[in-house]
Amino acid sequence: MKHALIIGAGRLGKGFIGETLANAEGWKTTFIDIDENVIEAMKNKGYYDVCVHRETRIDEHRVRGYDAYTWKQSGAMESVIDADVIYFVIYPEQIPQAVCTVCEGLYRRKQQQPDKKLCMIFITNKNHLMKDIEQMFYEHLPEETHAWFQEQVVLRDSIVRRSTDAQSNAALNIRTTAVLSLLIQQPLNVDLSAIEWMETCDQLELLKDVKVFVVNGPHAASAFLGYYKGYETINEISSDEEGAAFIKEVEKEITEGVLQHYPLTKKQLYNLSHFPAAKGEMVDYIYRVAYDPIRKLTKGDRLAGSAAMCYAHGLPYDAIAKAMAYGFLYDEPRDKQAVVLQKSIHEEGILQTIVKLTGFAKEHEVTKRILYYYEQLKKA
């Protein structure tokens, strides 16, 4: 039996990785979450339900037979010592703390299981993090373990092509759309080839930039516009005529930029980023898709990165700039980073906040366009 450890038992951890591994033969799964509510709920009930929207059918899958721990509970570190693969299914800003804790287990692993290979896979929509993550491991591990770590452990990034939502991270009813695989950077030191929805791929960094721009850029645009229009779900804004037209325009601008900037054919781009329609319609909340607007508006991310790319190639970026203006207006009180964003606008002004987050200079044309739309939309 191979052992998979999932760090982060929230929406995607349970609804995608956990559900997928439960379908795979020969895998035992352990979840670790920092939030006691998540683990208590999973343990008290002993199962959770996932509604899986595939292309041709909808599966109702009751997942059971897992172990689940908080970091404080005995069993957590033993899982780090024993696992063949560890999936980090957490937000980018949660990675440093998780790495620090995992290193305690790795230190013991070197003593107890020195010859067992370990693969750690990071599941986020943030690209170019892997060098920093590797550095974090070396900073937290004692020097005498470094050669062992280099020999036995691989750290890999991935491209997530899945939407998975639930009422909260602790919810035991989850819905997911299963139409494309998780792409995992290779080479691996564990065989995942028999697991459905997981495949290895080359050129992951390049493809991840493209996927985050083309898929998550319009997705963020739809969430920010949807919130502005008073909707709660992505489904509502996508079936609003004006909303659908705007999202399409953002997608068109980003696609043109990507095809100019990256060495990809239209067919390769389609294979990477076209999501076939799934049976039924999974309800996806704007709250989740807009979550952490600061990350989404930051230099190099899905919107600012796309705008910079289009600008550099002399291509239109007007709809992207407008989507960013909707982002700067996003003031959902339940989202801590939206509150921080609004505080920054209130205290430093919108212009300074745009410059600080997006990295475009005060006088840059993209800054001026975002500012123009922000002021128009605020007045409207």
Ligand X SMILES: NC(=O)c1ccc[n+]([C@@H]2O[C@H](COP(=O)([O-])OP(=O)(O)OC[C@H]3O[C@@H](n4cnc5c(N)ncnc54)[C@H](O)[C@@H]3O)[C@@H](O)[C@H]2O)c1
Binding status of residue 11 toward ligand 44H by CB under 6 A: no
Binding status of residue 301 toward ligand X by CB under 6 A: no
Sole binder of ligand X in the list 33, 249, 251, 332 (CB under 6 A): 33
Q: Which stretch binds ligand X (CB under 6 A): 9-17, 203-211, 300-308, 349-357?
A: 9-17
Give the number of other Cβ atoms within 10 Å of residue 16's Cβ: 27
Question: Smallest Cα–Cα separation from 370: which of 351, 348, 356, 342?
Answer: 351
Q: Which does 219 bind (CB under 5 to 8 A by kind): ligand 44H, ligand X, none?
A: ligand 44H
Which residues, other chains included, contact 149 with Cβ-Cβ below 8 Å and sequence gap of 6+?
106, 110, 137, 138, 141
Q: State whether residue 55 is helix, strand or coil.
A: coil
Sole binder of ligand X in the list 4, 10, 53, 141 (CB under 6 A): 10
Q: Which stretch binds ligand 44H (CB under 6 A): 1-9, 71-79, 157-165, 371-379?
A: 157-165
DSSP-derived secondary structure letter, 114: T
Binding status of residue 103 toward ligand X by CB under 6 A: no
Sole binder of ligand X in the list 6, 13, 39, 273 (CB under 6 A): 13
Of residues 116-135, those binding ligand 44H (CB under 6 A): 125
Binding status of residue 164 toward ligand X by CB under 6 A: yes
Of residues 271-290, those binding ligand 44H (CB under 6 A): 289
Binding status of residue 291 toward ligand 44H by CB under 6 A: yes
Q: State the number of binding residues for ligand X (CB under 6 A).
A: 26
Give dist(CA 216, CA 197) in Å, integer. Answer: 19
State the virtual CA torsion across 221, 222, 224, 227 in degrees, nearest 10. 170
Contact 199, 184 (CB under 8 A): yes
Give the number of other Cβ atoms within 10 Å of residue 343's Cβ: 11
Q: Say which amino acid occupies 201.
A: C
Residue (23 or 169) nearer to ligand X, CB: 169
CB of 166 to ligand X, least distance (A): 7
Sole binder of ligand X in the list 8, 18, 218, 293 (CB under 6 A): 8
For residue 248, report the phi and psi dihedrals to the nearest 5 degrees: -65, -40
Binding status of residue 105 toward ligand X by CB under 6 A: no
Helices (H) and strands (E) in the chain, counts: 19, 12
Contact 80, 102 (CB under 8 A): yes
Binding status of residue 123 toward ligand X by CB under 6 A: yes
CB of 13 to ligand X, least distance (A): 5
Residue nearest to ligand X (CB): 10
CA angle 134, 292, 349 (to 5 degrees): 115
Binding status of residue 169 toward ligand X by CB under 6 A: yes
Contact 327, 357 (CB under 8 A): no
Give dist(CA 268, CA 374) in Å, integer. Answer: 35
Query: Residue 291 has which token pair?
Result: 């979550």
Residue (81 or 234) nearer to ligand 44H, CB: 234
Radius of gyration (C-alpha) of the chain in whole angstroms: 21
Of residues 131-160, those binding ligand X (CB under 6 A): 160
Q: Which stretch binds ligand 44H (CB under 6 A): 186-194, 214-222, 311-319, 367-375?
A: 214-222
Binding status of residue 161 toward ligand 44H by CB under 6 A: yes
Q: Which does 130 bind (CB under 5 to 8 A by kind): ligand X, ligand 44H, none?
A: none
Binding status of residue 222 toward ligand 44H by CB under 6 A: no
Place of tokens 């063949």: 84
Q: State whether residue 379 is helix, strand or coil.
A: helix
Footprint of ligand X (CB under 6 A):
7-13, 32-35, 38, 89-91, 94, 97-98, 123-125, 160, 162-164, 169
Residues within the interface to ligand 44H (CB under 6 A): 125, 160-163, 215-216, 219, 289, 291
